């Protein structure tokens, strides 16, 4: 329902803008008015703060956590400056993943015929079911991936029931181990990660304020489980909340297990119409749940983003005072941002453009309080 409302609002704005341009009338985007206070360099109490950086301005103008392609600024993808070494690596691995996905769809039957004998050897071994569990545990750690393939193999070899039990055991144990490893080893570095990455910092913020619902939605969404588990661990998420969300989100590995079981039946010509229908419904339901969860995360992120960016600016001001005077700077606490509506900054046709040089117009050391 919320997705339909957002789409309706977006189309309604596009129509109003079209009518205004057609009649030669001025058109003002509400999103631009909402974002205007975020570029002000004077707080209501008269104190000055640094302007947002170019990265923060771009983050404000994108929807939610900024996932996916930035369609409004698509030209940047055709500039040499955009492709840093890190982005080139992301593109490279993304293309590899897309290629493997296409090949798995095109050569589905041949892949299953190749995997079936391997799975049969596993099943013939005493305790062979421990092999996929061990693999799933290892694949829980970044940057490794491929849990979906192992879950599918479980469905091919052991069927839906036992296959899901094996996949669930490997997933739960692997995620729990990853959770505690990063909580015990890296929790002290959480602040550095949140300061360095806008996406990490914003997700950690809404995780702390959103409670169990955010944890569950993040697990059900299309966000990589590697990433979310580490964020939860380092952000101080309660373990039992994480565990319950993890168990509920096992619907995702179940989808792959069931698809594997149906696929091997099809390859052996044992599939019936009911199995095909259930397979289709399972896939559609999994996609819808993932989209709805991702939408929920982005809505919460849009609401928290103004305060989040302002806090980062206040932190830079405090650091400037400390480095200049060698004493603690002004407080970093803020009054929650009050906009006309907590909507997505990218649902407007033209995001607010900050004044030229906003990110470098002033030196941080020059900001004083009144």
User: What tokens does 112 get?
Assistant: 């299953």
Q: Is the dihedral of CA 252, 258, 261, 263 positive or negative?
A: negative
List the one residue out of 265, 261, 255 whose CA is nearest residue 154: 261
pLDDT of the chain, 370 residues: tens digit per residue: 444 555 666 666 667 776 776 777 665 554 444 555 565 666 666 667 777 887 787 788 777 777 766 666 677 777 887 788 877 887 888 788 778 778 777 777 777 777 778 778 888 888 888 999 999 999 888 777 778 888 888 888 888 889 999 999 999 999 999 999 988 887 777 777 777 888 888 888 899 888 899 999 999 988 888 888 988 988 888 999 999 999 999 988 898 898 888 887 776 666 666 767 777 888 888 889 888 998 899 888 888 888 888 888 888 887 777 776 555 555 545 444 444 434 433 333 344 444 444 444 433 334 443 3
3-class secondary-structure state, position 221? coil
Q: Where are the domains of the chain?
A: 124-314+341-348
Q: Cα–Cα distance between 368 and 48 in angstroms, integer?
A: 6
- Residues 271, 86: Cα–Cα separation, whole Å: 45
Beta carbons of 38 and 308 less than 8 angstroms apart:
no
- Find the helix packing angle between 108-124 and 251-267, rounded to 10°: 100
Cut 0.75: pTM above it: no
């Amino acid at each position: 329902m919320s997705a339909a409302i957002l789409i309706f609002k977006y189309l309604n704005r596009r129509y109003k803008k079209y009518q205004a341009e057609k009649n030669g009338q001025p058109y003002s985007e509400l999103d631009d008015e909402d974002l205007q206070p975020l570029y002000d360099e004077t707080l209501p109490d008269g104190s000055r703060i640094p302007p947002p950086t170019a990265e923060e301005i771009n983050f404000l103008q994108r929807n939610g956590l900024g996932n996916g392609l930035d369609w409004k600024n698509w030209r940047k993808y055709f500039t040499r400056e955009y492709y840093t070494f890190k982005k080139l690596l992301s593109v490279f691995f993304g293309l590899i993943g897309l290629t493997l996905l296409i090949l798995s769809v095109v050569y589905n039957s041949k892949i299953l015929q190749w995997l079936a004998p391997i799975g049969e050897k596993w099943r013939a071994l005493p305790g062979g079911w421990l092999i996929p569990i061990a693999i799933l545990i290892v694949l829980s750690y970044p940057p490794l991936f491929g849990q979906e393939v192992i879950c599918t193999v479980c469905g091919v070899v052991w069927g839906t029931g036992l296959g899901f039990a094996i996949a669930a055991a490997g997933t739960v144990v692997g995620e729990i181990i990853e959770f505690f490893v990063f909580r015990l080893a890296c929790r002290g570095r959480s602040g550095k990660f949140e300061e360095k990455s806008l996406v990490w910092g914003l997700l950690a913020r809404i995780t702390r304020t959103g409670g169990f619902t955010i944890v569950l939605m993040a697990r059900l969404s299309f966000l990589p489980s590697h990433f979310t588990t580490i964020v939860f661990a380092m952000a101080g998420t309660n373990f039992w909340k994480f565990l319950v969300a993890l168990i509920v989100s096992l619907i995702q590995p179940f989808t792959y297990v069931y698809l594997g079981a149906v696929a091997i039946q099809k390859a052996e010509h044992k599939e019936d119409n009911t199995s095909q229908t259930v397979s289709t419904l399972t896939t559609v339901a999994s996609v819808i749940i993932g989209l709805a969860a991702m939408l929920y995360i982005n809505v919460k992120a849009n609401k928290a983003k103004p305060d989040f960016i302002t806090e980062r600016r206040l932190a830079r001001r405090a650091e400037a005072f400390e480095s200049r005077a060698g004493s603690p700077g002004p407080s970093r606490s803020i009054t929650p941002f009050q906009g006309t509506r907590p909507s997505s900054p990218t649902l407007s046709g033209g995001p607010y453009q900050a004044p030229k040089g906003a990110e470098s117009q002033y030196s941080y050391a020059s900001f004083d309080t009144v």
